[in-house]
Amino acid sequence: MNTLKAAWPLGALLIVTFALDLESGSGLELVRLWWTTPGVALLAAAALTAPWRPLLAGAGAIAVLAGWSLVARIAGGELMPVLGPLSMTEVVALMAVIAAVVRLLAPGTAAAVVAGLLAGCVVAQVLRPSHLTPDPDPLRNLVVPAALALGLAVGAGWYLRGRDAARDRATGAAVAAAQQRERLNLARELHDVVAHHVGGMVVQAQAAQAVAGRDAGAAGRVLPLIEGAGAEALSAMRRMVTVLRDAEPAGAPAPVRTADLAADLRAVTTAPAQGIPIRLRVALSEPVPGEVSASVLRLVQESVTNARRYATGAGQIVVEVRTGPGTVRVRVTDDGRPAAGPERHGGGFGLIGMRERVHLLGGSFSAGRLTDRGWQVSAEVPLRTGEK
């Protein structure tokens, strides 16, 4: 569908020029129209496919120019020239192919294809039979218009090439910024996890010291707890060092988090008045570490917010969070229609942030439209984030 939308303006222009060709050749014999139409149709097909297959379209156009001219010459067929040896439709199709080739191919390859197309035009000039009155001034009436058409096509392709490069740079910068924001958010949450573990270690050590005089075995019982908390803190610190950056993050505030992940999930999935109903399913058969629960909560919050914003006509949003053998799985699904526009979720940068967060924790992430209707975000994150 998107391909048809992109191709229809050029297709309409080719139809108009072909109608003008027919009008200009209305006094010629019908046999010329018969011989001209196949070559015109093949060049038009090359022009319409050039934005997606520029090299193939360029090679095909060269083959049509030379091959069909040779066929017509051998068979004694007569073509219907309008602009030199070519019809107006063929000229427009060739300009479209040249613009796409210059825009999309590497400069060396593009130059070779354009040179081949020019050689094809020369071959057509030599091979195609014509009964028109010889041009008294071919330099002015043929060479100069051909040079102008070539310059216009190459210039258009070069302009579009530069615009594409600028757009790619802007998109790359936006993607990098989204990834940076998510790394900073995750690093800040990991800092809170480290502070929690270290604080617990201090409290446990102080308690052991307070009862050491009365209970000689207190230190032996507390030391394993301190060791476990220290290992968790060390793992979180390693992860934080990996993702930390200098800039301050921007964007939506992180959800308020407590030690109860199920309660936190209920808080972020509470539907506002007259909002889309949300069905929450939580099954936590294993404990979820702090850095993982923070990311799970963030994923659910972001996915629910996006569904509320972009799922037009949705009847409900289903949020599922389940732990399995060593992992926690998150799935957020809606049954709405996608909002108008080329991309859902604000151009896709919210999805980029979520994917970055999950990958930093060693997990997997996917998002996309469902087969019939709706959108689904799913992630699987290991409970032991220090391992990949």
What's the CATH code of the domain at 291?
3.30.565.10
Per DSSP bridges, beta strands 327-334 and 317-324 are: antiparallel
Residue 150 lies in a domain: no
- Residue 283 within a domain: yes
Output the pLDDT for position 2.
Answer: 47
Predicted pLDDT at 75: 76
- The pLDDT of residue 126: 81
| 272 lies in the same domain as 347 | yes
Shared-domain flag, residues 283 and 344: yes
Out of 195, 214, 243, a domain closes at 243
- Distance, CA of 222 to CA of 217 (rounded, Å): 9
* Residues 203 and 278 grouped into a single domain: no
Q: Give me the amino acid identity at 34.
A: W
- 83: β partners: 86
Q: Does residue 217 sit in the same domain as residue 271?
A: no
Q: 327 forms bridges with which residues in the sheet? A: 324, 382
Number of domains in the chain: 3
281 and 351 together in one domain: yes
Place of tokens 């799985």: 329
Residues 230 and 349 in one domain: no
Looking at the structure, do residues 265 and 369 belong to the same domain, yes or no?
yes
Among left, alpha and beta (phi > 0; psi -120 to 50; other), residue 357 is: alpha
Q: From the centroid of its chain, how far is CA 292?
A: 28
- Domain enclosing residue 216, as ranges: 177-243
216 belongs to a structural domain: yes
Same domain, 239 and 266: no
Per the domain annotation, does 249 fall within a domain? no
In tens digits, the chain (388 residues) has pLDDT values of 444 566 788 888 888 888 887 776 655 555 555 677 788 889 999 999 999 999 999 999 999 988 888 887 787 766 666 556 788 888 899 999 999 999 999 999 999 999 999 998 888 888 876 544 445 455 555 677 778 888 899 999 999 998 988 888 887 777 777 767 766 666 666 666 666 666 666 666 666 666 666 666 666 676 666 666 666 666 666 555 555 544 334 444 555 567 788 888 888 888 665 678 889 999 998 888 877 888 888 889 888 888 888 877 888 899 999 998 889 999 999 988 765 444 444 445 577 778 877 887 888 999 888 877 788 999 999 987 554 4
**Predicted pLDDT at 328:** 93
120 and 195 share one domain: no
Q: Is residue 146 in a domain?
A: no
Check whether residue 237 and residue 294 sit in a common domain.
no
Give how far the C-alpha of residue 128 lies from the chain's centroid of Cα atoms, to the nearest Å. Answer: 46
- What CA–CA distance (Å, rounded) separates 104 from 163? 12
Q: Mind spelling out the 3-state secondary structure of the chain?
A: CHHHHHHHHHHHHHHHHHHHHHHHCCCCCHHHHHHHHHHHHHHHHHHHHCCCCHHHHHHHHHHHHHHHHHHHHHHCCCCCCCECCECHHHHHHHHHHHHHHHHHCCHHHHHHHHHHHHHHHHHHHHHCCCCCCCCCCHHHHHHHHHHHHHHHHHHHHHHHHHHHHHHHHHHHHHHHHHHHHHHHHHHHHHHHHHHHHHHHHHHHHHHHHHHCCCCCCHHHHHHHHHHHHHHHHHHHHHHHHHHCCCCCCCCCCCCCCCCCHHHHHHHHCCCCCCCCCEEEEEECCCCCCHHHHHHHHHHHHHHHHHHHHHCECCCCEEEEEEEECCEEEEEEEECCECCCCCCCCHHHHHHHHHHHHHHHCCCEEEEEECCCCCEEEEEEEECCCCCC
- Give the pLDDT of residue 218: 62
41 and 93, same domain (yes or no): yes
For residues 257 and 301, is the Cβ–Cβ distance under 8 A?
A: no
Burial of 350 by CB count in 10 Å (0-12 exposed, 13-18 middle, 19+ buried)?
A: buried
What pLDDT, on the 0 to 100 scale, is given for residue 233?
63
Q: Point out the domain boundary residue: 111, 132, 153.
A: 132
The pLDDT value recorded for residue 230 is 65
Instruction: Please check whether residue 198 lies inside any domain of the structure.
Output: yes
Residue where one domain finishes, among candidates 213, 243, 273? 243
The reported pLDDT for the residue numbered 107 is: 92
Measured CA angle at 281 (ends 278, 283), to 5 deg: 160
In a domain, 362, yes or no: yes
Residue 7 CA, distance from chain mean position: 20
- Domain-located, residue 153: no
Same-domain pairing of 72 and 104: yes
Q: Which pTM does this prediction carry?
A: 0.54
| Burial (Cβ within 10 Å: 0-12, 13-18, ≥19) of residue 133 | exposed
Question: pLDDT at position 193, please?
Answer: 63
